[in-house]
Amino acid sequence: MVKRPGQATKSSASGRPVMVLLEALGKRWALRVIWELSNNNPCTFRELQSLCEEVSPTSLNNRLKDLRQLGLVELTSHGYALTNYGRSLSDLLLPLDRWANDWADWLA
Amino acid sequence: MVKRPGQATKSSASGRPVMVLLEALGKRWALRVIWELSNNNPCTFRELQSLCEEVSPTSLNNRLKDLRQLGLVELTSHGYALTNYGRSLSDLLLPLDRWANDWADWLA
DNA sequence: CTTGACGCTACGTAAATTGTAGCACAATAA
DNA sequence: TTATTGTGCTACAATTTACGTAGCGTCAAG
């Protein structure tokens, strides 16, 4: 399904890590799932579903498979949670919230 | 096509800016185009195409339409370029390169 | 005028995503 | 035992998105 760093993908023949990452994060709901997990940790499948606008279970499961394979998310006994690496990635994304607010003001 | 902050989308009924952003960045080639433009500024349509693994012109054009509508990219007399806001967003994404390298080492 | 580069579109095909229904399993309560 | 509830998740048909190829219209240079 999803490709790991080093593996050639349609969006990155080189397999260069950042390209593989950008492709993985560019799939629908990927960024959103990471975002929601960073604020709701851990989280059941159905909780995640409702946090993500009632996304279809098929899509959510596909995305979760990807993120688990990439070592960003894991399924624990208490539900889905970010791994340490997933957490470090979500930390990098945190500034997007403030940025988006400024952006929205500017666009308005 | 793409939605702007404040507008309800399938991925964000609220229209909350960060959600709209995450949805926009979650479309294929969106992150990659921003990434390539941050290193190649400005850039012709065909240059962008080859930087993005020969993405189809249909897809590239759709994504560029989105990004222009969101005020992140503009078409200047010298080619496609990030706007000031687009640049400030790409600056937030820069750390992803280093992060992805560490991540790849850890996954290996 | 022809050649080349530009941004971009048309069109048919392939792939991803969706919505709905519901399965298999485990824990809880009657 | 039986029923109920909650869990993660799958099947399937339909819609939406992305794709690959060909090529258009424009413009500047030769």
Domains of chain A (ranges plus CATH)?
17-107 (1.10.10.10)
Q: Which residues in A have their CB inside 8 Å of a CB on B? A: 4-6, 10-13, 17-23, 25-32, 35, 52-53, 70-71, 85, 88-89, 92, 95-97, 99-101, 103-104, 106-108
Lowest mean pLDDT among A2-6, A54-58, A79-83: A2-6
Q: What pLDDT score was predicted for residue A14?
A: 85
Cβ distance A51 to A78 under 8 Å?
no
- Grade residue A13 by pLDDT with cuts at 50, 70 and 90: confident
Tell how strand B73-76 and strand A73-76 pair up. unpaired
Question: Across the 108 residues of chain B, what is the mean pLDDT of every consecutive 10-residue run?
Answer: 88 90 97 97 96 97 98 96 98 98 95
Q: Dump pLDDT digits (tens) for A86-104.
A: 999 999 999 999 999 999 9
- Tell me how far CA of residue A70 lies from CA of A3, A28, B107, in angstroms: 8, 16, 8
Instruction: Give the integer Cα–Cα distance in Å for A15 and A60.
Output: 25
Residue with tokens 């992803």: B96
Kindly list the residues from chain A whose CB atom is less than 8 angstroms away from the CB atom of residue B103.
5, 17, 21, 71, 85, 89
Kindly list the residues from chain B whose CB atom is less than 8 angstroms away from the CB atom of residue A103.
5, 17, 21, 71, 85, 89
Instruction: Give the integer Cα–Cα distance in Å for B18 and B24.
Output: 10
Interface test with A, best of B96, B105, B106 (most A CBs within 10 A): B96
pLDDT reading at A1 higher than 80 = no
Query: Is residue A77's beta carbon less than 7 angstroms from any atom in nucleic acid strand D?
Result: no
Torsion of CA A100, A105, A107, A108, to 10 degrees: 140
